[in-house]
């Protein structure tokens, strides 16, 4: 009796379907890399945003149980992310859950939260796409609206992936653009209120003191140097924002401490030099840059293209501030049906109108 030994060549085994699948996968990967090499000859978007529309319709179309459409949509997302990062797209933003979605049936909302929690935990696994491609994950939106387990999981994912720098995935949960804009305006007003109080303090409370004289035990030019040094440091801290567009606590701590120091010294002495009074020559005014740095999406550049599946062309309160010069693409496929072909067409569409949009941007 002769025992047949499977003939193996490399990773291939002559056990039928296994050989065919491995061979097919390798050929597919090779052809995809060739296709991406050709596409890379032209401009590639830096930032793609996706509205993942059509999960529930896909479930009905395929006669699946409720919730199965979202699971299929997650698999489509993983494949699409892999294609994007292989193509060299550095930023990908997805609209995962709107604040408006909380108005759905409680059992449906809970099912989506459970699925989100499950997938957040999966992102931390060693073999996940996050670790394969060095992706930093940021959850964008009013995270206080999420349940405690989901919020804790989101914060854990952001912390664990914070040192990844090859690419970034921004997941918009508990998000609407109108809420983001209100949040940014509120943050700007709070920041300017501090500046306004400091400006009034300098202009109305303090009198002239000659250079070199002491104010409350401190030489005036030393106070000025300290103020200038710490102002620079404060600006540096302000630029170090978390994933949700909010400054780190170190910045808030620094500003509050400095306000206390300045208020204490000024109120006790009532004296300051002319140079110190002129540190804030202009009244604090909220400018465009102030609003933008308080946006949730301040951690990434504006998207170059927004893709919404299922043929819909509505923005649905998503990235309204950031998409004023963004291309829109609406393939007819439902989100779980989105794949390589839709991504390729999106890139070709982007390349076709890229030069025109570049000229328009330079005119602004």
Which residues lie closer than 8 Å to 155 by C-beta, 6 or more apart? 143
Residue 53 annotated in active site: yes
Structure tokens at 310: 């299922």
Contacts of 110 (CB under 8 A, 6+ apart): none
State the pLDDT at residue 256.
44
Cα separation, 73 vs 96, in Å, equals: 11
Report if pTM > 0.75: no
Q: Can you give the pLDDT at residue 358?
A: 78
pLDDT of residue 241: 55
Helices (H), the chain: 17-39, 55-61, 68-87, 106-123, 129-133, 148-160, 177-200, 220-239, 249-269, 274-277, 288-293, 340-363
- According to the model, what pLDDT value does residue 314 have? 92
Give residue 25's pLDDT: 76
pLDDT reported for residue 66? 84
> How much is the pLDDT for 93?
98
pLDDT at residue 204 in the model: 56
pLDDT at 321: 96
Point out the catalytic residue in the list 53, 283, 302, 304: 53
Distance of CA 302 to the CA centre of its chain: 10
DSSP 110: H
* Low-confidence stretches of the chain (pLDDT beneath 50): 1-14, 205-212, 214-238, 240, 246-281
- pLDDT at residue 207, as a whole number: 47
- Predicted local confidence at residue 282, as pLDDT: 54
The residue extents of the domains of the chain are: 43-175+301-358, 177-206+288-295
CATH code linked to domain 43-175+301-358: 3.40.1180.10
pLDDT of residue 251: 38
Q: Which of 309, 66, 40, 301 is nearest to 168 (CA)?
A: 301
């Amino acid at each position: 009796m002769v025992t047949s030994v499977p003939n193996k060549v490399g990773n291939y085994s002559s056990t039928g379907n296994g050989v065919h699948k491995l061979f097919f996968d390798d050929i597919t990967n090779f052809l995809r890399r060739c296709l991406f090499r050709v596409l890379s000859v032209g401009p590639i978007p830096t930032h793609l945003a996706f509205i993942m529309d059509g999960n529930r319709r896909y479930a009905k179309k395929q006669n699946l149980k409720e919730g199965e459409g979202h699971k299929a949509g997650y698999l489509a997302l993983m494949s699409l992310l892999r294609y994007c990062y292989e193509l060299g797209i550095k930023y990908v933003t997805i609209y995962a859950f709107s604040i408006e979605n909380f108005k759905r049936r409680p059992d449906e909302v809970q099912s989506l939260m459970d699925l989100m929690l499950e997938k957040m935990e999966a992102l931390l696994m060693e073999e996940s796409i996050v670790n394969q491609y060095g992706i930093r994950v940021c959850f964008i939106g009013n995270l206080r609206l999420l349940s405690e387990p989901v919020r804790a999981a989101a914060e854990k994912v952001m912390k664990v992936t914070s040192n990844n720098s090859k690419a970034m995935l921004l997941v918009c949960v508990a998000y609407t653009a109108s809420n983001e804009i209100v949040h940014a305006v509120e943050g700007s007003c709070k920041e300017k209120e501090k500046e306004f109080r400091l400006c009034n303090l300098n202009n109305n409370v303090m009198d002239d003191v000659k250079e070199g004289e002491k104010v409350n035990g401190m030489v005036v030019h030393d106070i000025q140097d300290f103020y200038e040094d710490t102002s620079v440091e404060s600006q540096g801290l302000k630029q170090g924002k978390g994933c949700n567009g909010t400054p780190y606590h170190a910045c808030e701590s620094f500003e509050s401490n400095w306000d206390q120091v300045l208020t204490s010294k000024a109120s006790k002495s009532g004296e300051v030099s002319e140079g110190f009074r002129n540190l804030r020559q202009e009244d604090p005014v909220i400018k465009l840059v102030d609003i933008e740095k308080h946006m949730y999406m301040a951690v990434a550049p504006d998207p170059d293209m927004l893709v919404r599946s299922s043929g819909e062309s509505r923005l649905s309160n998503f990235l309204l501030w950031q998409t004023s010069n963004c291309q829109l693409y609406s393939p007819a496929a439902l989100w779980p049906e989105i794949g390589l072909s839709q991504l390729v067409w999106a890139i070709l569409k982007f390349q076709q109108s890229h030069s025109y949009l570049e000229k328009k941007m330079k005119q602004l």
